[in-house]
Each structure stands twice: as structure tokens, then as C-alpha cells.
């Protein structure tokens, strides 16, 4: 019997504010890994097809060469469809065990995954991944399996991070390879090849594992408290404090104090300042002494407004920092209050508190908001990327110009 092909789809449901402007839901970093990567690993097969909203199809195709994006026809045979809002953790046995004609659904009817024959698969795609074909048998879950809002990523981070760290193939730490490093705690410490962990670094594995991936540099007088992860080729400057449940993505440069947060790739926070319980996109630069509040002085749950046309919502979280999209920059001394939302391509240069909701391509000063000229932003981004020997794709450039 042939193994059903894997298709991952973004059904466009849920509300993610700045996170979804330039990436598909399965491209969110939901732990050490992107959900896309974890789904492939859990199901032990590569996705040959992905479906995403038309607006981002070009950039998704650029990032996933070799994967068919929004094809008009599917291959022959059975296909496993997986909702990209599933992080690949929880209910894995139910998804792995699907046979043709079966589906896993949430209590509200949203499809988590389905294994369908060719005719059923075509009908499911035509329905926008909402209506299962007739005679599909369902396994109904009693708990939420799909993320609906950005703060759900933070809710699931403690579990997702531990699963990712426990399955890491990064080599175990050997004291003789890193003289002068202080370690303690019973959990694993893993340090990748060509990673440099300097003398006077402290690694605290008392509460969870610590993984420092290949090529990373951890400078002296830095403290890492597990569970946490430092991505490949990232740099931690001296006096950095990485606290529990922090994920530093690949090719980042960070400093100051970071706790309970996820940073996507190529983001810089290289100076002093606190970042807590936050989600930060790619190619973000947080200026020196940028500070993010993650706790109200009333200790009440934090409320967040994700978009201009969205209502303010209760996150149910006492600790909730900022949600920051791709290509955002902040000036020195920037202050972000609890639950601040910053859409892609913004520049924040205010002397007081930053706005609670900053809309895409906004240049914010004490005089208020002005439209950020896309040509100027793209020229700046190209200069930044040149320093990292990365070329901006034509599709992402076009999408930036279309941001509103």
C-alpha cells in the first residue's frame, strides 16, 4: 500500500495580526521548530503540496522551493491533509493513525487532519478545507488542537519547547571542549559543532534542557537558564540573560534580558533592555534599551487588539508582552506596554510609550504616524540583508509594497 502524500494547508481561519501578514500559519515558530518542520518530522514524510491564502502564495513559494503551492490539481492516490495551525504536538497518535476516509476534528468541527482518497481530496480543497466529504468518519477531540490567536503559541510553548529539545540531535556538552564554562542541573546540555561558548558563561539546566546549535557564539558573562534554545549561527553578547522558555532563532544577535519569548530568524536585540513573553518576527531590530512590559500593575489578564478592524480580546494571560511582525525597527529607549501589537515594516521612534497598535508601514514619532515610504524601507532592508549575505526575493519585496 502506498503511503498517502502529505499536504499542509493554511485555512486562513483564526486571527494572528502581524504574524500572518507575510507568512503562512505553518511557518510560525512554535518552539525550536517551525510548525511545518515539526509536522513533517512527526509524520516522517515531506510535504509535497501546501495551500495558503493567495496574497502570500508567492513568498511561500520562494521560501519552499520544490513544494507545489496552491496547485490546480492534486496527485493521484490518497492524501493526508494537515491543518498548518496544528503545531505537530498533541494528538499525534490520532493523526498518524488516520486511514483513508478518516479525519480528526476539534469539538467545534474544525478539521485538524484528514486522510482522503483522490475524489474526496479534491472536494475538500474546493470547500476551502472546511467541509469534509460525505461518509468521512471523524475522530472528535475534546480539547483544542489548533492555534487560534498568537498567544496560543505562548500558551503551548512550554510543552512544544520541551518536546523539541528532547528530540534534538545536537551533540551533548563536553566540559573539556568548553573550558571555563560553569554548568549545573540534571537536564541535558547540548552544544553544536563549531559553536563557541566562552569562559565565564553560566548554563543552568536545573529546570530544563539547554541547546546551543551549530555555529552559535555565546560571549563571556552570559547566563542561560533552561529550558531554552539558541539557534544556529546566533550570537549572544556579553552580559546576556536568557531565561526559561526562550527560543532564539537562527542567525540572531541578542543581548539584555529575554524571558519566555520566541524570536524568528535574523532578528537583532543586541543591547540592554527587557523582552518578556513576546513573539518577534524576522529581520527585526530592537534598538538599545528597548523594553517590553509583560505584566500589568493590576495583575489582571492582558487584553490585546490585533488589527484595526478587530475588537480588543482577553488573552487569559497574566504575562503577555508584545507581538511584533517582520521588518520592524525601534529607536533607542523605546517602551512597549503589555499586549502591544506592531505590524510589519514599522519604525517606532517615540519618546513616550509606543502606540498599543502600530499598523503596517507606519513611521511613528512624537508627531504621530506617517506612512513609511516602501522604497525607503526596502532600500534599508536590502542594506541590512547585504551585511548577512542574504538576497531579498522579488515576491517578498512586492508583498511589502502591498502592505496596509
What is the tally of structural domains in the chain? 2
Helix (H) or strand (E) holding 57: helix 57-63
Residues 188-201, mean pLDDT to the nearest whole number: 97
Whether residue 318 sits in one domain with residue 204: yes
* Final residue belonging to a domain, choices 133, 148, 163: 148
CATH code of residue 160: 2.160.10.10
Q: What CATH number did the domain enclosing 55 receive?
A: 3.90.550.10
Same structural domain, 99 and 238: no
pLDDT (0 to 100) of residue 163: 97
Predicted confidence band of residue 193 (pLDDT cuts 50, 70, 90): very high
Tell me how far apart the alpha carbons of residues 159 and 168 are, in angstroms, rounded to a whole number: 15
pLDDT for position 77: 84
CB burial readout 324-342, b (16+ within 10 A) else e: bbbbbbbbeebbbbbbbbb
Q: Report yes or no: 290 and 270 within 8 Å, Cβ to Cβ.
A: no
pLDDT at 357: 98
Which among 175, 174, 212 has a CA at the least distance from the CA of 195? Answer: 212
- Do residue 349 and residue 274 come from a single domain? yes
Same-domain check for residues 192 and 288: yes
User: In terms of DSSP bridges, do strands 202-204 and 223-225 run parallel, antiparallel, or are they unpaired?
Assistant: parallel
pLDDT at 362 over 70: yes
pLDDT at 86 over 60: yes
The tens digit of pLDDT for each residue in 137-158 reads 999 999 999 999 999 999 999 9
pLDDT digits 0-9 by tens, 120-142: 999 999 999 999 998 899 999 99
Contact yes or no for 305/337 (Cβ under 8 A): no
Q: Predicted confidence band at 3 (pLDDT cuts at 50, 70, 90)?
A: confident
Which pLDDT tens digit goes with each residue over 282-316?
999 999 999 999 999 999 999 999 999 999 999 99
**What whole-number distance in Å separates Cα of residue 71 and Cα of residue 51?**
8
User: Averaged over 235-246, what is the pLDDT?
Assistant: 98
**Interacting residues of 387 by C-beta distance below 8 A, sequence separation 6+:** none
Contacts 24+ apart (CB under 8 A), 102-105: 102/136, 102/137, 102/138, 102/139, 103/132, 103/136, 103/137, 103/138, 103/139, 104/138, 104/139, 104/141, 104/145, 105/132, 105/138, 105/139, 105/140, 105/141
Identify whether residues 276 and 139 lie together within a single domain: no
Domain that holds residue 12: 5-148
Alpha-carbon span 249 to 232, nearest angstrom: 7
Looking at the fold, whether 246 and 393 belong to one and the same domain comes out as yes
Q: Is residue 208 predicted with pLDDT exceeding 60? A: yes
Percent of residues, the chain, with pLDDT higher than 90: 96
Same domain, 28 and 88: yes
SS3 state at 150: helix
Please name which of 194, 152, 188 lies closest in space to residue 168, comparing C-alpha atoms: 188
Residues 245 and 346 in one domain: yes
Average pLDDT estimate for 164-187: 96
Q: What is each CA distance from 283 to 250, 263, 277, in whole angstroms? A: 11, 10, 19
- On average, the pLDDT of the chain sits at 96
Phi then psi dihedrals of residue 374, to 5 deg: -55, -35
* Predicted local distance difference test score (pLDDT) of residue 75: 80
On the question of pLDDT at 353 being above 90, the answer is yes
SS3 83: strand
Closest CA to 358 of 325, 400, 312, 381: 325
Burial 178-201 (b: 16+ CB within 10 A, else e): beebebebebbbbbbeebebbeeb
Cβ-proximal residues to 391 (8 Å cutoff; 6+ apart), any chain: 385
Q: What is the arithmetic mean of pLDDT over 271-276?
A: 98
142 and 160 housed in the same domain: no
pLDDT on residue 76: 83
**Could you identify the residue written with the cell 490585546?**
304
For the cut 60, the answer to whether the pLDDT of residue 1 exceeds it is no
Do 185 and 110 belong to one domain? Answer: no
Same domain, 217 and 344: yes
Q: Return the pLDDT at 73.
A: 87
pLDDT of residue 299: 97
Q: Which of 98-102, 213-217, 235-239 is least confident?
A: 98-102
Amino acid at each position: 500500500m502506498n503511503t498517502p502524500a502529505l499536504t499542509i494547508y493554511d485555512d486562513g481561519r483564526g486571527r494572528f495580526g502581524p504574524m500572518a501578514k507575510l507568512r503562512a500559519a505553518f511557518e510560525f515558530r512554535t518552539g525550536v521548530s517551525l510548525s511545518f518542520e515539526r509536522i513533517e518530522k512527526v509524520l516522517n514524510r515531506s510535504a509535497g503540496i501546501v495551500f495558503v491564502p493567495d496574497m502570500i502564495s508567492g513568498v511561500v513559494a520562494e521560501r519552499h522551493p520544490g513544494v507545489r503551492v496552491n496547485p490546480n490539481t492534486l496527485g493521484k492516490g490518497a492524501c493526508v491533509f494537515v491543518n498548518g495551525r496544528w503545531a505537530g504536538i498533541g494528538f499525534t497518535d490520532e493523526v498518524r493513525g488516520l486511514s483513508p476516509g478518516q479525519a480528526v476534528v476539534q469539538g467545534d468541527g474544525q478539521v485538524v487532519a484528514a486522510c482522503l482518497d483522490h475524489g474526496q481530496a479534491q472536494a475538500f480543497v474546493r470547500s476551502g478545507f472546511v467541509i469534509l466529504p460525505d461518509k468521512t468518519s471523524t475522530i472528535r477531540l475534546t480539547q483544542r488542537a489548533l492555534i487560534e490567536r498568537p498567544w496560543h503559541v505562548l500558551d503551548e510553548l512550554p510543552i512544544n519547547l520541551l518536546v523539541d529539545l528532547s528530540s534534538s540531535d545536537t551533540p551533548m556538552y563536553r566540559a573539556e571542549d568548553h573550558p571555563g564554562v560553569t554548568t549545573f542541573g540534571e537536564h541535558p546540555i547540548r552544544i553544536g559543532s563549531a559553536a563557541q561558548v566562552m569562559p565565564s558563561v553560566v548554563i543552568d539546566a536545573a529546570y530544563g534542557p539547554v541547546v546551543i546549535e551549530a555555529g552559535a557564539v555565546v560571549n563571556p558573562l552570559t547566563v542561560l537558564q533552561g529550558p531554552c534554545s539558541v539557534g544556529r549561527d546566533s550570537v549572544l553578547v556579553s552580559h546576556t540573560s536568557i531565561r526559561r522558555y526562550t527560543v532564539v532563532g537562527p542567525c540572531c544577535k541578542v543581548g539584555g534580558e529575554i524571558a519566555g519569548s520566541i524570536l524568528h530568524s535574523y532578528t537583532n536585540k543586541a543591547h540592554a533592555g527587557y523582552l518578556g513573553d513576546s513573539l518577534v518576527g524576522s529581520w527585526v531590530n530592537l534598538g538599545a534599551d528597548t523594553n517590553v512590559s509583560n505584566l500589568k500593575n493590576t495583575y489582571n489578564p492582558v487584553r490585546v487588539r490585533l488589527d484595526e478592524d478587530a475588537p480588543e480580546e482577553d488573552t487569559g494571560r497574566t504575562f503577555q508582552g508584545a507581538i511584533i511582525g517582520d521588518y520592524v525597527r525601534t529607536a533607542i529607549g523605546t517602551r512597549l506596554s503589555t499586549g502591544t501589537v506592531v505590524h510589519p515594516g514599522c519604525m517606532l521612534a517615540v519618546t513616550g510609550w509606543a502606540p498599543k497598535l502600530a499598523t503596517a508601514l507606519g513611521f511613528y514619532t512624537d508627531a504621530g504616524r506617517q506612512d513609511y515610504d516602501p522604497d525607503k524601507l526596502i532600500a534599508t532592508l536590502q542594506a541590512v540583508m547585504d551585511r548577512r549575505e542574504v538576497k531579498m526575493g522579488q515576491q517578498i519585496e512586492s508583498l511589502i509594497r502591498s502592505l496596509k
